[in-house]
Structure 1
Amino acid sequence: MNKFIIKYLTCLFVVLFISCSNANKSIKVKGSDTEVNLAVSLAENFYKVHQDFSVAISGGGSGLGIASLLNGQTDIANSSRPLNAEEVSLLKAKGIPIRTVVFAEDATAFIVHKNFPLDSIDVVTLTKVLKGEYKTWKPVTGQDILINIYGRQSNSGTHSFIGKKLKIQFSRDAKEMNGSAQIVEGIKRDKSGIGYVGAGYILNNGSEQPVKVLKIMEKPGSRAISPLDVKAIAARRYYFQRPLYQFIPVKSWNKVAAFIQFEKSPAGQKIITTSGYYIIPK
């Protein structure tokens, strides 16, 4: 059988499929939209040295990946958040023991239109914007225009991460987008919009960005830190940085071990950093 690669990208998901007839070396990876571009890059390079494997990757959100884990439909569930208590309970009830791998770190970027008048925002102001306390930008920029929030559905790990970090419920007026690509496209066209995506997603889509990435001040008047600042992330100074998880059923471990080992290799670590993600500080 000839080996081939099909790479299919939409705002909903990315699929990478490499033909292979051996089911014991056919790996399914589902989950986090934040991680999907990185997973594709890792899989492409993994295949160069392990051509007897096949890897199928799809995004759609951390919740979807974990649901696929519970339904026995994936070998690796990528997630930008830890398992919650209900998911742990369901896995136990279904008799699905798992192994957890933390393979990289990401910083959540808050993005606005390129012509947005500010380059930074403090956490207090950002909280008021995202929970809908501020309906217009007037208290922030002086512009009396409605704020449009571009976010994710509740099954998104990034949605959950921000909500827990800021201790908020998002505004009911927030737009629920299907993935990072949709958020970026929305912000490109909306001068009053604000949204959030993984910094790795921004960096992995070219150096010329179609949107502005806001720097974040933990407190009003404090130093503004960019999620694209590698040194700041390494020093853990950025307010919205987090580990990225892979949840693997124990029964799939032997199958995926070579792929996990590749992620940890010098080649895999280089792909992680050049894709705009960060190595977990030791």
Structure 2
Amino acid sequence: MKRIRPIGLTYFGLVVLTVVHSCTSKDHSIKMKGSDTEVNLAVNLAEKFTAIDPSFSIAISGGGSGLGITSLLNGQADIANSSRPLSEEEIEQFKKKDIALKTVVFAEDATAFIVHKDLPLEELDLETLAKILDGTIKNWNELTPVNLPINIYGRQSSSGTYSFVKKKLKIEFSAAAKEMTGNAQIIEGVKVDKSGVGYIGAGYVGDEPETKQGIRLIKIKETPTAVAYSPNDIEAINNSLYFFQRPLYQFVVASSWEKVRPFIEFEQSDKGKEIIKDHGYYIKD
């Protein structure tokens, strides 16, 4: 599998983009909400799809996986983009409302951990990473020659990435962690903060991040003596060696399935897969 670096514009949480062409009809109006990790990709897929079939109108917003799932429950969306599976509580809520869902896994993502480009840190093991994010390790001088208090840039609790990292590390995040609305805000925060550390979708890390984005990508190893892997290591991803890999979901209200099916089929086409890879995500056959 080939991985190509992400392209396109940056959208912050809750930014809405509506792709509308002439000759639209009510039956071809799709509302898609949810994961900030997926929003840039969803926008590009929708743009390319509606260029092929201008009878469709697709409104897209981010804001987090939880928001997208809640929007399905409230009848405010046809598709929820989610970087995590449904919780047991959410499954019960859909059952109580008698709302049937279809689940599509359309790509795979890796969560990247970043620091300021000038911080002399190359890799972290899981135990040390957990202690940073839960606030046990408070100053970089415990790990590096730099004497600076650690500032954590994370996501809001409605974010699938927030839930994913929390569950993988089996931690509660530090109460001092800054809650940002999206990947782009985390990058901007760490870029200007020499004591910053954050986590983002790997698709948001461009070529030469130290030069172009002002951030350093941290390699992750499961134990202090294990091999450290980067989320942009294609071979490691293909062999499921990077600890923070995950599928990306789209939950579709069953009653909307026939309406959205042409768009889902476009995502799964060769052209759709090419777009997914162009954004730095993975397709596993």
| Pair 8,111 (structure 1): closer, same or farther in 2 beyond 3 Å | closer
* Contact 1:8–1:16 (CA under 8 A) maintained in structure 2: no
Aligned twin of 1:154? 157
| Pair 159,263 (structure 1): closer, same or farther in 2 beyond 3 Å | same
Aligned twin of 1:3? none
Question: Separation in 2 of the partners of 1:138 and 1:210?
Answer: 21
Question: Separation in 1 of the partners of 2:118 and 2:90?
Answer: 42
| Deviation (angstroms), 1:9 | 6.0
Aligned twin of 1:18? 19
| Deviation (angstroms), 1:8 | 9.2
**Given the alignment of the two structures, is residue 196 of structure 1 paired with residue 212 of structure 2, yes or no?**
no
**Given the alignment of the two structures, is residue 54 of structure 1 paired with residue 28 of structure 2, yes or no?**
no
1:255-280 Cα deviation digits (max 9, x unpaired): 1000100110000011111110001x
| Pair 8,137 (structure 1): closer, same or farther in 2 beyond 3 Å | closer
Aligned twin of 1:37? 40
| Pair 129,105 (structure 1): closer, same or farther in 2 beyond 3 Å | same
Question: Separation in 2 of the partners of 1:205 and 1:53?
Answer: 37
1:161-218 Cα deviation digits (max 9, x unpaired): 0000000000111011111111111001100000001001224998933311111111
| Deviation (angstroms), 1:230 | 1.7
Unaligned runs of 5+ in 2: 1-7
Aligned twin of 1:250? 254
Q: Of the candidates 220, 234, 240, which is equivalent to residue 238 of structure 2?
A: 234
Using the size of structure 1 for normalisation, the TM-score is: 0.93
1:133-144 → structure 2 map (5 Å cutoff): 133-144=136-147
Question: Separation in 2 of the partners of 1:179 and 1:238?
Answer: 22
Q: Of the candidates 61, 66, 80, which is equivalent to residue 69 of structure 2?
A: 66
1:118-197 → structure 2 map (5 Å cutoff): 118-197=121-200
* Contact 1:38–1:272 (CA under 8 A) maintained in structure 2: yes
SS of equivalent to 1:88: helix
| Deviation (angstroms), 1:79 | 0.3
Aligned twin of 2:101? 98
Q: Of the candidates 109, 114, 117, which is equivalent to residue 111 of structure 1?
A: 114
Structure 1 segments, 4+ long, off by >4 Å, are 7-10, 204-207
Q: Tell which has more relative contact order, 1 or 2 (C-alpha 8 A, sep 6+).
A: 2
1:70-89 → structure 2 map (5 Å cutoff): 70-89=73-92
Aligned twin of 2:217? 213
| Pair 94,205 (structure 1): closer, same or farther in 2 beyond 3 Å | farther
Question: Separation in 2 of the partners of 1:79 and 1:201?
Answer: 16
SS of equivalent to 2:212: coil
SS of equivalent to 1:99: strand
Segment of structure 1 superposing worse, 17-26 or 60-69: 17-26
Q: Kindly provide the amino acid, as one letter, of the partner of residue 253 in structure 1.
A: W
- Cα RMSD of the aligned pairs, angstroms, is 1.8
Question: Separation in 1 of the partners of 2:64 and 2:119?
Answer: 28
SS of equivalent to 1:223: coil
Question: Separation in 2 of the partners of 1:205 and 1:33?
Answer: 23
Question: Separation in 1 of the partners of 2:258 and 2:207?
Answer: 30
**Given the alignment of the two structures, is residue 265 of structure 1 paired with residue 264 of structure 2, yes or no?**
no
Q: Kindly provide the amino acid, as one letter, of the partner of residue 182 in structure 1.
A: Q
What's the % identity of the aligned pairs?
57
Question: Separation in 1 of the partners of 2:240 and 2:30?
Answer: 33
* Contact 2:32–2:79 (CA under 8 A) maintained in structure 1: yes
Aligned twin of 1:275? 279
Count matched residues.
Answer: 275
SS of equivalent to 1:118: coil
SS of equivalent to 2:54: coil
* Contact 2:12–2:184 (CA under 8 A) maintained in structure 1: yes
* Contact 1:203–1:275 (CA under 8 A) maintained in structure 2: no
| Deviation (angstroms), 1:10 | 4.7
